[in-house]
């Protein structure tokens, strides 16, 4: 019973999706609410503030637990490691206000689509439905499954047939109104957040609340100048943050607002078509694409006609994409499953631009609205910007632990102060004020803000280098990257392919190669026909546009694309693409070719086909081009040359990109509608035409960059959609795989019949000549696994198919393979994302560099995704480089390392500054004194604030070090650094405090504030009396104060210098001119105030004169502290070799998963397996590993 109650109370929303949430039901209770309101008043709003920070406490205090069906409030919790809470009110949608058709109140469905969640959510006869809105998405309560379901999109369960028949004629006017009310407007509305809202949100940050408490305390103690200085700085800081947030909000609003008011022609059932503003569109509406350029206002599925779309907004790559209509087929499968991962070819995405529309003979192109508003692809991207996923990085969690640790120290200070003041029988007000003062001194409230300064400066430097960032907190994570995945084409190699040659095939034999460029044009024949017509090129504004590969291939024929706006021959009436021989083309017996229909290319299918017709002839032709292995499988085997694989390998092993061409004559008869052709039927029994060989040159920056990364111990991995052999060759040429390294090809196969899944390990042939050199020592800069008796490394290479089989049947082998896999070929976009996730499971910090087109998922999944795109911000990835080569990768790692080290330095400095002040104040409190207002002012504003603002300005060191900076604040070197420096401070200040009491000129409390030592009259008084000076001054004036102030102030400058480490991650301190000059000025000011004998200065600073010799002693103490601190930090704590020695003495080993696997495999004499085959166990998914390859724990 309890279990059922819990199931009704708590379920998962968006199960197995990226934005999965746990949702629990609660009911507001009057008496609880009344008690909470009383609590708000009694606590002067503190309880309200606590509930603002902890929304779950708010719900638990005001409400009682109940089932979701009865709930009027829902509590939401993210299911990731952060487990953030929020709550939403359950509201009601009232449909009774609409003029609904007769019979709506009866048991009949409210909307025609019987599967629609709207029918299951309406409460009859009241015609109401319950709903909640979470992160801009609306959910309604489905009574049949007792869950909240998303609205604003068509049900995924619809088949191809039902989409055509249910929605092909449009919705009725009544249904449109119901859907408008339930789904809300079709608009991606980003409100420009009011300044007062942003201001409140910023001010209510716990950091500012703590600061407000601190300032109130200081003002009550009369520290007006310092408090005013901090208030002014806080106002500037809050003002800048609010301005920045407002700018971002305005920018995003302007970016999406233009697409909210597009005019579209919507068809209503039995009412005809009418122009309507796009915000009134609802899922299921049918609208016309009438040939005008249109920025799509929703996600829609094309049901008639085809069109060409620019998806640059989504992918960052402005290559026209051809969209084809959803086939009208009788299939019980949902339409997305029927089209497999290629359903996107039928979908027009919101925010993309329709360049060209090709209607069919039946009339204009038609599309059905799939999703509206924030449910669309564009809405999803905008939501990911509005609600970014928090970055899980130890630095921020460690900083919080630091603040907690300092607060504990502050609490000890508070107890100490209370004890001292109570023992002297001081008034309660003084005890409370002084105790709280020491608590606030220990915790510098600037730590969270200071962490961001390094990031802000790094972001500014990256911008100058044309690298743009939409997620600044990821910059610090870039400092930890130790593996980078690279896409090949357009990233490592030139974007454009150069046509190298064509190898025609006739009579199942390869003919003589036709090389490009050539003095003789390509002769007419099926190969020329395929190259002229098998592409997705379009003429936009009298310029041919399309995939770079298609453009190069078409250029090689010297044919021309006719602009559809000027087409003749009657064929152009269908807006068909026509190609004709150009003046430089070889003589062809045809006037031109009309491309009637396309089966577009996709990464999943790795092929494309077109149906064409020679002008003036009745015969239809189908041409196909694609990956050679795929195309040959569609051809009749008697037409494929026997040496096909050998020939293919010969070119791919030289790094060429090879495309296969095939052809088939279609017997369709007269006046047939080619758009209704089924792809599966058309693409069968083809004749193999030959191979198209394209040269894909390495970019000149690729090799040096990869060498630099390898030298810095950053692993390089290639993840490409290209052929495996080509990828291995490019990896060799680029230096990813070194000379003398073995390449082991991993091939895994699915189970067939009674044969279980198998995995084979084959030594690549081009390595055999290197076996003699196997004992040759590899470059010691490369991270490698040393094998027994040999020092050369090895690399695994595999294709997407094998990767999929390994994931499914050999998952336990995957980590072993991944720690040394370098080449992944023929990888689909989904597999790329999966691979990055698997690398992350091995504790790698993964960077991904791609061109943004089919790498979107991988770029988002990686710790740092870098898109090479001309757009300033590709929504696909956190980083975008406008310089289209991989030089941005080391640049980003450099800046990340510098920002990370800078953040650590600032945190260390602020901790020391707080503790230096804490120690000084604690010593003075022993005799019921504190530092003067101006003394605090100089330490806090003149020194610390300026140090925090300028310390991070030091630029990144140009050479990447072969190791990474520490990734966590709570690490032995860092904690030791802080602990030792605090010890030096305590020793120095305690010595100063005790030694000054031993001086012959020392008196307990001066009767005179200042005056020259010669004529100073001294009247000894006890600490409890005020002497001749006022109460406020007597709490400051003393020889201890005059000694401790210079010791603590100059100590702050010393630690700022010592912690500003330069090499190996940042340039030397003297290159940061602003910081260096500031430190010198600060030191000069402190020395001037300490050594000058000017009465006005002494009275303003509340100092007592001390003999010159004592001042020299104080200076010597500081000099000794500087030498000891500098030696400890630079020679001991920052000594990489010393730490490695200590680690080896204590037997410390890295806990990272990939390190554990490397150590395990290093002791395994039978790894890597070569020229062997393993099988998966038949009965279960467990893997059977050949005993010879099984490592034992004893090794």
Number of H helices, E strands in the chain: 39, 42
Q: Which residue has the higher pLDDT, 859 or 854?
A: 859
Question: Which pair of structure tokens corresponds to residue 448?
Answer: 């969270």
pLDDT value of position 300: 92
Share of the chain above pLDDT 70, in %: 85
Segment holding 824, helix H or strand E: strand 821-825
pLDDT for 460-471, tens place per residue?
898 898 888 877
CA dist 1086 and 149 (Å) reads 67
Q: Is 462 left (phi over 0), alpha (psi -120 to 50) or beta?
A: alpha
User: Which residues, in sequence order, are bridge partners of residue 880?
Assistant: 468, 867
pLDDT for 505-563, tens place per residue?
888 888 888 888 777 888 888 889 999 999 888 877 777 877 777 888 888 888 888 86
pLDDT for 396-440, tens place per residue?
677 777 778 888 888 998 999 899 888 888 888 888 888 888 888
pLDDT value of position 123: 77
User: Which residues, in sequence order, are bridge partners of residue 264?
Assistant: 276
Any idea which residue has 């009309």 for tokens? 594
pLDDT value of position 1163: 81
User: Which residues, in sequence order, are bridge partners of residue 64?
Assistant: 27
pLDDT value of position 1033: 42
Q: Are strands 864-868 and 758-763 parallel, antiparallel or unpaired?
A: unpaired
Q: How confident is the model at residue 126 (pLDDT cuts 50, 70, 90)?
A: confident
pLDDT for 681-700, tens place per residue?
888 889 999 999 888 778 88
**Rounded to whole angstroms, what are the CA distances from 491 to 196, 710, 883?**
45, 17, 11
pLDDT value of position 1180: 40
What are the residues whose beta carbons fall under 8 Å from the beta carbon of 499, sequence distance 6 or more?
A: 516, 552, 553, 555, 556, 692, 694, 695
Which of the residue ranges 150-154, 155-159, 621-625, 1061-1065 has the most confident prediction, judged by mean pLDDT? 621-625
pLDDT value of position 1028: 29
Q: Is 573 left (phi over 0), alpha (psi -120 to 50) or beta?
A: alpha
CA dist 879 and 194 (Å) reads 29
Q: Where are the alpha helices (DSSP H) in 790-929?
A: 800-809, 814-818, 829-841, 856-861, 888-925
**Mean pLDDT along residues 1037-1058:** 90
Single out the residue of 282, 258, 267, 311 nearest to residue 372, CA to CA. 282
What are the residues whose beta carbons fall under 8 Å from the beta carbon of 194, sequence distance 6 or more?
A: none
Segment holding 365, helix H or strand E: strand 365-371
Positive or negative, the CA dihedral 472, 475, 476, 478 is positive
Any idea which residue has 């004998």 for tokens? 1093
For residue 1017, report the phi and psi dihedrals to the nearest 5 degrees: -95, 140
Any idea which residue has 């105030």 for tokens? 1089
CA dist 1089 and 1111 (Å) reads 11
What are the residues whose beta carbons fall under 8 Å from the beta carbon of 814, sequence distance 6 or more?
A: 806, 807, 838
Mean pLDDT of the chain: 80
Any idea which residues carry the catalytic annotation? 487
Q: Note whether 1098 and 1105 are within 8 A (CB).
A: yes
Q: Are strands 742-749 and 758-763 parallel, antiparallel or unpaired?
A: antiparallel
Question: Which pair of structure tokens corresponds to residue 766?
Answer: 């081009």
Q: How many CB atoms lie within 10 A of CB 972?
A: 13
pLDDT value of position 1122: 93
Sheet strands (E) in 224-340: 263-268, 272-277, 286-289, 294-295, 299-304, 306-310, 320-323
**Mean pLDDT along residues 351-364:** 79
CA dist 1139 and 981 (Å) reads 19
Quote the pTM value: 0.74
SS3 content of the chain, % helix, strand, coil (to 5): 45, 20, 35
pLDDT value of position 1026: 32
pLDDT value of position 662: 93
Displacement of CA 1172 from its chain's centroid (Å): 40
Q: How confident is the model at residue 569 (pLDDT cuts 50, 70, 90)?
A: very low
pLDDT value of position 694: 84
Q: Are strands 821-825 and 794-799 parallel, antiparallel or unpaired?
A: parallel
């Amino acid at each position: 019973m309890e279990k059922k109650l819990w199931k009704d109370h708590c379920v998962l929303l968006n199960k197995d999706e990226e934005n999965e949430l746990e949702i629990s039901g609660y009911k507001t209770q009057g008496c609880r609410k009344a008690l909470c309101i009383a609590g708000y008043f009694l606590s002067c709003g503190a309880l309200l503030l606590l509930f603002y920070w902890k929304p779950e406490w708010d719900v638990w205090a005001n409400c009682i637990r109940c089932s979701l069906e009865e709930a009027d409030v829902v509590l939401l919790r993210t299911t990731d490691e952060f487990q953030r809470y929020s709550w939403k009110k359950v509201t009601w949608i009232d449909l009774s206000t609409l003029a609904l058709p007769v019979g709506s109140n009866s048991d009949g469905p409210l909307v025609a689509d019987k599967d629609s969640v709207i029918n299951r959510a309406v409460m009859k006869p009241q015609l109401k439905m319950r709903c909640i809105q979470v992160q801009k998405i609306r959910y309604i309560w489905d009574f049949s499954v007792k869950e909240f379901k998303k609205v604003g999109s068509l049900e995924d369960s619809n088949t191809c047939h039902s989409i055509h028949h249910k929605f092909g004629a449009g919705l009725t006017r009544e249904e449109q109104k119901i859907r408008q009310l339930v789904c809300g407007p079709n608009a991606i509305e980003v409100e420009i957040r009011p300044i007062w809202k942003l201001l409140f949100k910023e001010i209510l940050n716990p950091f500012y609340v703590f600061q407000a408490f601190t300032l109130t305390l200081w003002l009550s103690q009369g520290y007006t100048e310092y408090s005013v200085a901090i208030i002014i700085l806080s106002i500037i800081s809050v003002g800048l943050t609010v301005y920045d947030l407002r700018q971002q909000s305005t920018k995003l609003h302007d970016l999406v607002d233009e697409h909210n008011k597009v005019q579209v022609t919507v068809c209503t059932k039995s009412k005809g078509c009418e122009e309507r503003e796009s915000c009134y569109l609802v899922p299921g509406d049918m609208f016309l694409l009438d040939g005008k350029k249109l920025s799509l206002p929703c996600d829609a599925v094309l049901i008639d006609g085809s069109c060409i779309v620019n998806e640059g907004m989504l992918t960052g790559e402005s290559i026209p994409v051809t969209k084809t209509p959803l086939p009208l087929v009788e299939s019980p499968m949902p339409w997305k499953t029927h089209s497999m991962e290629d359903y996107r070819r039928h979908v027009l995405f919101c925010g993309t631009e329709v360049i060209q529309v090709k209607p069919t003979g039946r009339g204009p192109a038609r599309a059905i609205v799939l999703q509206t508003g924030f449910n669309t692809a564009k809405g999803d991207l905008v939501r990911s910007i509005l609600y970014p996923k928090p970055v899980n990085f130890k630095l921020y969690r460690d900083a919080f632990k630091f603040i907690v640790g300092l607060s504990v120290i502050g609490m000890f200070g508070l107890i100490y102060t209370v004890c001292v003041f109570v023992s002297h029988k001081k008034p309660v007000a003084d005890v409370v004020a002084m105790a709280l003062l020491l608590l606030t001194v220990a915790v510098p409230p600037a730590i969270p803000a200071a962490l961001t300064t390094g990031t802000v400066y790094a972001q500014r430097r990256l911008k100058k280098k044309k690298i743009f960032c939409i997620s600044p907190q990821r910059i610090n994570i870039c400092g930890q990257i130790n593996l980078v995945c690279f896409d090949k084409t357009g990233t490592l190699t030139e974007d454009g392919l150069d046509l190298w040659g064509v190898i025609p095939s006739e009579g199942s034999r390869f003919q003589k190669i036709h090389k490009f460029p050539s003095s003789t044009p390509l002769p007419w024949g099926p190969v020329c026909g395929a190259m002229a017509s098998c592409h997705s090129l379009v003429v936009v504004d009298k310029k041919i546009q399309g995939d770079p590969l298609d453009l190069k291939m078409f250029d090689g024929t010297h044919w021309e694309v006719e602009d559809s706006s000027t087409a003749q021959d009657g064929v152009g009436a269908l807006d068909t693409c026509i190609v004709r021989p150009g003046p430089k083309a070889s003589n062809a017996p045809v006037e031109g070719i009309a491309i009637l229909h396309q089966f577009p290319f996709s990464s999943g299918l790795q092929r494309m086909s077109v149906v064409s017709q020679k002008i003036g002839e009745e015969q239809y032709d189908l041409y196909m081009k694609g990956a050679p292995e795929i195309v040959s499988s569609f051809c009749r085997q008697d037409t494929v040359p026997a040496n096909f694989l050998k020939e293919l390998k010969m070119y791919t092993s030289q790094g060429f990109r090879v495309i296969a061409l095939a052809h088939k004559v279609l017997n369709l008869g007269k006046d047939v509608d080619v758009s209704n052709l089924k792809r599966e039927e058309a693409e069968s029994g083809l004749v193999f035409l030959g191979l198209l060989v394209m040269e894909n040159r390495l970019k000149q920056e690729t090799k040096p960059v990869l060498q630099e990364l390898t030298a810095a111990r950053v692993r390089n991995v290639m993840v490409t959609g290209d052929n495996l052999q080509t990828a291995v060759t490019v990896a060799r040429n680029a230096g990813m795989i070194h000379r003398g390294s073995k390449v082991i090809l991993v091939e895994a196969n699915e189970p067939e019949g009674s044969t279980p899944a198998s995995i084979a390990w084959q030594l690549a042939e081009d390595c055999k000549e290197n076996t003699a050199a196997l004992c040759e020592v590899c470059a010691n800069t490369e991270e490698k696994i040393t094998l027994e008796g040999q020092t050369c490394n090895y690399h695994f290479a595999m294709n997407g198919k094998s990767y999929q089989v390994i994931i499914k049947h050999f998952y336990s082998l995957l980590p072993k393979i991944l720690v040394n896999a370098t080449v992944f070929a023929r990888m689909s976009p989904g597999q790329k994302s999966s691979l990055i996730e698997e690398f992350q499971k091995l504790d790698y910090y993964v960077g991904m560099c791609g061109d943004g087109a089919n790498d979107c998922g991988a770029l988002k999944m990686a710790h740092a995704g870098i898109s090479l795109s001309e757009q300033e911000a590709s929504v696909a990835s956190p980083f975008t480089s406008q310089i289209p080569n991989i030089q941005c990768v080391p640049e980003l790692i450099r800046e990340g390392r510098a920002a990370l080290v800078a953040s650590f330095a600032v945190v260390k400095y602020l901790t020391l500054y707080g503790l230096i002040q804490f120690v000084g104040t604690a010593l003075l409190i022993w005799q019921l004194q504190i530092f003067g207002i101006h003394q605090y002012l100089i330490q806090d504003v003149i020194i610390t604030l300026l140090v925090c603002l300028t310390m991070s300005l030091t630029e990144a060191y140009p050479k990447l070090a072969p190791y990474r900076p520490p990734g966590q604040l709570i690490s032995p070197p860092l904690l030791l650094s802080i602990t030792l420096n605090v010890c030096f401070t305590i020793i120095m200040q305690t010595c100063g405090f005790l030694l000054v009491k031993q001086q012959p000129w020392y008196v307990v409390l001066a009767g005179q504030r200042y005056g020259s030592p010669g004529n100073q009259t001294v009247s000894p008084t006890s600490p409890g009396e005020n002497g001749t000076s006022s109460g406020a001054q007597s709490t400051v004036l003393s020889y201890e104060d005059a000694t401790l102030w210079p010791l603590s102030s100059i100590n702050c400058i010393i630690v700022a210098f010592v912690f500003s480490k330069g090499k190996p991650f940042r340039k030397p301190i003297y290159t940061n001119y602003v910081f260096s000059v500031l430190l010198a000025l600060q030191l000069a000011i402190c020395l001037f105030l300490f050594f000058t004998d000017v009465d006005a200065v002494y009275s303003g600073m509340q100092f007592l004169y001390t003999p010159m010799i004592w001042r020299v002693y104080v200076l010597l103490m500081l000099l000794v502290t500087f030498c000891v601190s500098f030696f400890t930090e630079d020679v001991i704590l920052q000594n990489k070799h010393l730490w490695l020695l200590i680690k080896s003495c204590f037997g410390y080993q890295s806990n990272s998963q990939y390190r554990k696997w490397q150590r395990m495999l290093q002791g395994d004499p039978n790894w890597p397996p070569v020229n062997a085959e393993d099988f998966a166990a038949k009965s279960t998914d467990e893997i059977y590993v050949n005993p010879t390859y099984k490592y034992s724990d004893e090794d």
